[in-house]
Chain A
Amino acid sequence: MTHRRDPSRSHLPSLLIADDDPVICSLLTAQLSRSFDVVASAGDAEQAIALAVEHRPDIAIVDMQMPAGGGLRAAREMHALAPATAIVALSADESDGMVRDVIQAGAIAYVRKGVAAHELMTTLRRSIEAHVLLSSPAPGDPVTIATAGTQL
C-alpha cells in the first residue's frame, strides 16, 4: 500500500512499515501516524525493497520474519539501495545472533515485537537521533538541518 505525501505532513519524518501481518501494519500506523507520515506499507521483503527505493523514507520498520526472502534480506538490500533510510528491525527473536545479524544487515535499532507503544516510540525517536548524528555531513547542509529539526 502506498500513498502520495500530503504536503501538510511533509514536516514529519516519512515512514515505511514492512510486516506480513496486516494487523501489525494497522496498529503501527495508528500508533505512529501522529509523529510520522506513513508513506507506505509492505507485506513481504520484495515489496519492502521496492517501496523503499520508490519513496526513500526517512525510517523503515522491517519485520525480520517476512515472506519472499525474509526481513534480513530486505534490510540488506534496502541499506544498499536506499542508504539514507534508517532501518529499525522488528522481531520476536531476541537472540544475540539475530541482533548481530540485524546490525550487520544495516539496521540501526532492534525492537522486540509485542512491546508497548510508548517503548516503540522511544526506540524510534532514539533511532532517528542516532541516525542523524552518524550520517551528519558538513555543517550547513540543508537536508541535515531539516532532519535534525524534526520534532517527535
Chain B
Amino acid sequence: MKRRKYSDLVTSVLAYSILFGIATPLLALILDSLDHTFFTTAWLHFSDWKLFLNTVLFSLVAISVSVLIAVPSAYVLSTFPGYKGKLLGLVLIAPMMMPSYVYALLWQQVLQLLDLPSEGVWIAFFVEVLVRLPLLLMAALIGLASIPRPLLEAGQIFIHPVSYLFRVIFPLIRSYLFAGLSLSLLFSVNDYALPSVFMRHTYTLEIFARYSAVGKGGESFLYALPLIVLSALLVYILLRLVPKLSAGKQGNLGYTVAFTGPIGFDIYKIFAVAVTLLQFIVPVAAVFFLIIKSPVNLFTISDMQSLQFSLILSFLSILAVFPLAWFMAEYLYRSASSMIWMILLFLFALPSSMIGSGTILFWGWTGIDFVYGHWPLLLFGYIVKLFPLFTMLIYLSIKNSDSTLWNAALLYRHGPGLWLRVRLFLIWPGIVIAFLLGLSMTLSEIVLSLLLAPAGTTSIGIRIFNYLHYGAVDQVAYLICIVMLSALVWGGGLYLLLTGHKSGREEV
C-alpha cells in the first residue's frame, strides 16, 4: 500500500513537472502581461467584440454547411462494397495534409484562370466550406462505421428517405459530428493564413497585426484571450463527447444499404458527392498541372536544406512529444485532474505567435545559450504546440480501446515491455492520427519558425509562404507535393508498423 502511494506521488510530481515545463511560455506571457494596463481598456472596444463574433459566426456557418455536405457523401461512400469505399474515403480526406493557405491559393489560381472572382467574403466562405470538409467527412465515416447494420436497415423500413437521413443517420452519428465540428471550428477560428489569401479580416489576423504593431507578447496575449477561451471551450466539448463516441462500438465494418428518395433528395446527395470530389480533384490536379508545366530543376539546393531541416525537426519534435504526451494521457485516464485539463486546454488554444514570443521570453530569462537562439528553441516551440493535441488524441484512444484486453495482459506481464508490446498497439489509431496531424502542423508552421528558427536556417513552411507571395506557384506546388508524399510515406509506414501486430479488436 505504501509502495503504491509512493509510486502515485512520484507519478503525480512527474506529470505536473512535465506540464509546467511545457507551459512555461504561457507562464512567461502571463507574467509579462501583468505589466500592462491594456487589460482595463481592451474590453471596452466594441469593434473588437464585433470582429470576434463575426469571425466565430462565419466559421460556424461555413462548417455547418460542410456538415450538410459531409454526411450524405460519407453515407454514399459507405455503400461501396468491400474496401473501395474505405480507399476512396481515405483519398478524399487526403487534402487535410495540405496547409490551408496553400489549398486556398490553389483554388484562387483556378478561379482566376476561369475569370471568376477570386477575393471577398463569399469566395472565402466557399473555400472555408471545402477546406473543412475532409475532417468532417472523416468524422462522418468513422461515425457510420460504428452504427450496427441491423439498426441502419431497420431505420429504412418505416421512414421516408429524407427523414431517414435527418432523423436516423444524423442523430446516430451526432457525437462524431460534434467532435468533428468542434475540431474544425477550432482550426477555423485560429486560422489567419487562409482568410488573408481572400482579403477577409478575422480576429486572429487582428491578433497578429496587433502583435506586429505592439511587439509585446503579454499585451497581445490579453487581446487573444476571448479566442483562447472559446478554443478551450470547444476542446472541452470535444472531450465530453468521448464516452458517447465509445457507445455503439459493436462495429459495422461492412457496407451500408443504399437508399434513394425523391428527385430533390437525390440531387442533394449527388451535389454533396460532387462537392466532396471537387474539394479533392481541383487542388490536387492544380498541383500536378503546375509541376508538369514548370521547367526542370525546380528544387533548389536551398529548398533541399530547408526540407531537410524541417523534416528532421518535425521528426524529432514528434518523437520527443510522444512519450511525454502518452505519459500525460495515461495519468489523466487514471486521475482525471481538472487543473491539468484546464492548462492543456489553454495551451491547445494558444496562437503560435504567443507560443513563439512566450518561448523567447522564457528562454531569454534562463540565459541557457545552448537552447536560446539555436535549433532546440524551435524544437521546444514545436513540442509546446504539439503536446496538448497529442495528449488529447492518445487519451481518446485509451478511452476508446478495449480495457478487458489490457486488464488480461496485466495479469500475466509487467514492466516496460507490457506498455511497448501491448498498450502501444491497443491505442494505435490515436498515435497514427496524432503523428499525421503533428507532421502536417510542424511542416506548415510559419510563425513559430519565423520567431524561433536559428539564424542561417529557413523552414520549408516559410519557403512555401514566400514562394506564394512571390507568385512562384509552381515552386509551391512542387514543395507541397514533396511535403504531402513525405507525410503519407511516414504515416503509412507507421500505420503498417503498428497494425502489423493485432490490435486485439475483433471485426464484426
- Is this pair of chains taken from one and the same complex? no
Chain A contacts to B: CB under 8 angstroms: none
